[in-house]
Amino acid sequence: MVELPSTDPFCSFRSRWRGWLGPTLLSALLLLSGTPRLPAEEPTQQEWIVISGGPALRFFEHGKADSHDKYWGNFIRAAVARLDQLKLQAEGKPGITITWLVYRPAYASRSREEKLDILSVIVEQANALKLPLYWFDTTGQLINYLNAGHDRKVIPIGALDYFGHSNRACLMFDYSTYFDNMSKGYLHEKDLRRIERKAFLRRAVVKSWGCHTGEDFSLWWKRRFGVPMVGAVGRTDYATASLPYLSKGAKWTQ
C-alpha cells in the first residue's frame, strides 16, 4: 500500500492505530479520506471526424478588397492535410475510424459557377485517402451524424476538426453562396444543445480552424460537452496548401 504524505493528518492517525484498526477497517477509512478512484475505462473504439464547410461564390466576392475563397478548395486541401495526419496517428490502432464530412450545396454551386465538376474531384481525394466521405446538405443532417452516425456508446467521437468559414457565434458551412456576406447553412452556438453530450469522449480533441471561433463559440462548446474546443481569437488564413495559420495578431485559445 502506498504511504500517504507525512503532512496528511490521517497519516499519523494510521501509524498510531495500525494494529488496532486492522486492514479491512483501515481500507474503508482510506476510501472515505478522499483517495481518488481510477476513471472508468474508455471505449477501445472511437471515430475521428473532419468537417469541411464550403467556399463562397466569386459572383459575390469578386472585386472586394478582402475577397474570400479565390480558390474553391481552401477547406478541402486543408482537410486533406489533416486527414493525412490522422491516418498516420491511427496506424496500429484498429479501433479508430476516420470520417470526412463535406457540405455539398456550396461545392455544387461553385461547380456550376466554375463549370468544373468539383464534387467528383472531392470524391477522388477521399478515394485516394481510402477514407469514407459523407455529404451533408443541412445542419440537421450533420447533427444527426454526430449523434447517431455510429452507436455512440460503442464508437464515441474522439476527435473533431472543422475547416470552413466561422464567426464568434457559429460555424458557417456556406458564406456568400446564397446571399452576399451571409450564411444559410450554419451551426449556431445555441444549436449545440441538439447534439448529445455523450457523443464525445471525455478526452476528445476538438479544434475549429475557422476565424473567430475562440471568441465565444468555444466557450459554449465547453459548457455543453465538458470538452475544450481550440479556436482562434482573430482570423485564420488558408493561403498555403496545408493547414491554415493564424493571421497577424490572432491566437489560439480554448
184 touches 54 (CB < 8 A): no
The answer to whether the predicted template modeling score (pTM) of the entire model surpasses 0.85 is no
Q: Give domain limits for the chain.
A: 1-36, 46-253
Q: Name the residue with cell 507525512.
A: 6
* C-alpha–C-alpha distance, residues 101 and 145, integer Å: 9
- The cell numbers describing 251, all together, are 491566437
Residue 230 is predicted with a pLDDT of 98
Q: Which pLDDT tens digit goes with each residue over 15-33?
A: 333 343 344 433 443 333 3
Q: What is the CA radius of gyration of the chain?
A: 24
Q: Is the pLDDT of residue 5 over 60?
A: no
How far is Cα 237 from Cα 249, in angstroms, rounded to an integer?
12
Query: How does pLDDT run across 92-137, given as a tens digit for each residue?
Result: 999 999 999 999 999 999 999 999 999 999 999 999 999 999 999 9
Q: 212-251 pLDDT, tens per residue?
A: 999 999 999 999 999 999 999 999 999 988 999 999 999 9
What angle in degrees, to the nearest 10, is found between the helix axes of 104-114 and 118-129? 130
How does pLDDT run across 44-89, given as a tens digit for each residue? Answer: 899 999 999 999 887 666 767 677 868 999 999 999 999 999 999 9
pLDDT tens readout for residues 160-171: 999 999 999 999
Backbone torsion region of residue 212, taken as left when φ is above 0, otherwise alpha when ψ lies between -120 and 50, otherwise beta = left
> What one-letter code names the amino acid at 238?
Y
DSSP for 21-39, written as a single string: HHHHHHHHHHHHTTPPPPP
Instruction: Report residue 4 as a C-alpha cell.
Output: 500517504
Q: Are strands 186-188 and 200-208 parallel, antiparallel or unpaired?
A: unpaired
Q: Which residues contact 168 (CB under 8 A, 6 or more apart)?
A: 212, 213, 215, 216, 217
**Whether pLDDT at 177 is above 60:** yes
Residue 2, Cβ density class (10 Å: 0-12 exposed, 13-18 middle, ≥19 buried): exposed
Give pLDDT, residue 58.
Answer: 77
Residue 41 carries which DSSP code? P
Amino acid at 26: L
Judge residue 147's burial from the number of C-beta atoms within 10 Å of its C-beta, 0-12 exposed, 13-18 middle, 19 or more buried: middle
What's the mean pLDDT in 26-41? Answer: 38
Q: How far is CA 194 from the centre of its chain?
A: 16
> Which of the four pLDDT bands, split at 50, 70 and 90, describes residue 2?
very low
What whole-number distance in Å separates Cα of residue 252 and Cα of residue 246? 8
- pLDDT given for residue 109 in this prediction: 95
Q: Which of 14-18, 153-157, 197-201 is predicted with the least confidence, judged by mean pLDDT?
A: 14-18
DSSP class of residue 133 equals E
Backbone angles phi, psi at 22, to 5 degrees: 80, 160
